[in-house]
Amino acid sequence: MSGGIVPAVVKLSAMNLRGFIFGMATAVAGLMAAGATLPPDPQPTDARPVSRAVRTTPVVLELFTAQGCAGCSDADRMVEDAADTPGVIVLTYGVDYWDYLGWADTFARPEFAARQHAYRQALRLRSVSTPQVVIDGYRQVSGARSPELQTAIDEESVRRDFPPEIEFRAAGDRVGIGSGRPPEGGAEVVVVTYTPGLQSVQIDRGDNRGQTVRQLNVVRGVTRLGNWTGRSTLFALPPKLDDGDEVVVLLQARADHRILTAAQR
């Protein structure tokens, strides 16, 4: 009996196999005719989304310029355009070392030129010149080089930082600096008083005679409040020089003048 049963089982299995192969071929042909595609390869289990750390502190642009400087008007317009970028603070300093050319800058102060000279030493530059834009206190763009400035802004805006908080008190007469790790050499708190918005000046003499110079956020004064050692500290703000003036508080490294963080009132 076993000799008769085995051939029957083998025959049945062969028929089933032929039917299975035929059915699979038919199904594949139907899928190809319908334009079906295979499912995508499974993703690796360790794949992680790529994130880009966005800086929460502003990018500070300090323009050193002069009303009697023939090449400065383009830089004035350049930082005016940059001010439209979210998270950018523009401050314009008038310097007085071109006054001998025939026009005394109406916004210049000796301490503004001194601030530019301090940046010259920190940036290891051979001399000072106008126009010059110092970005976050530690990099600079000379002249009206808009693409170079925009690249610097883009790079600074995504730089990963964990600075202390700056908080203005409700009365507006004091500012608090939070705790954090100070840079090597320590840091200092600087208040820059400025007139917000655009101001226009008609130039009567010198290289820009007959022209109207337009400048944004003209600086009126710079005041050093004191040192920051990493501990939470409260500072008294200087009184306003004129109605309508505002302030920017800078937390700045003493050694290399890098601006760690900043805030506008």
Residue 59 φ/ψ, nearest 5 degrees: -95, 125
**pTM score of the predicted model:** 0.78
Q: Can you give the pLDDT of all 265 residues of the chain as single tens digits?
A: 434 433 333 333 443 434 444 444 444 344 334 443 334 444 433 333 333 344 568 999 999 999 999 989 999 999 999 999 999 999 999 999 999 999 999 999 999 999 999 999 999 999 999 999 999 999 999 988 889 999 999 999 887 778 899 999 988 899 999 999 999 999 999 999 999 999 999 999 999 999 999 999 999 999 999 999 999 999 999 987 788 999 999 999 999 999 999 999 8
In sequence order, the 6+-apart residues with CB closer than 8 A to the CB of 231 are: 179
In the chain the first and final C-alpha atoms are separated, in Å, by 103
Residue 145 CB-density burial (10 A; 0-12 exposed, 13-18 middle, 19+ buried): middle
Residue 19 CB-density burial (10 A; 0-12 exposed, 13-18 middle, 19+ buried): exposed
For 214-243, letters b (16+ CB in 10 Å) and e give: ebbbbbbbbeebeebeeeebeeebeeeeee
Rounded to the nearest 10 degrees, the angle between the axes of helix 146-157 and helix 72-82 is 30
Q: Please state, in angstroms and rounded to a whole number, the distance separating the CA atoms of residues 227 and 219.
A: 22
169 and 218 in contact (C-beta within 8 Å)? Answer: no
CATH no. of 59-264: 3.40.30.10
Q: At CA 155, angle to CA 153 and CA 161, rounded to 5? A: 105
Q: Residue for token digits 């940036």? A: 123
pLDDT on residue 205 = 93
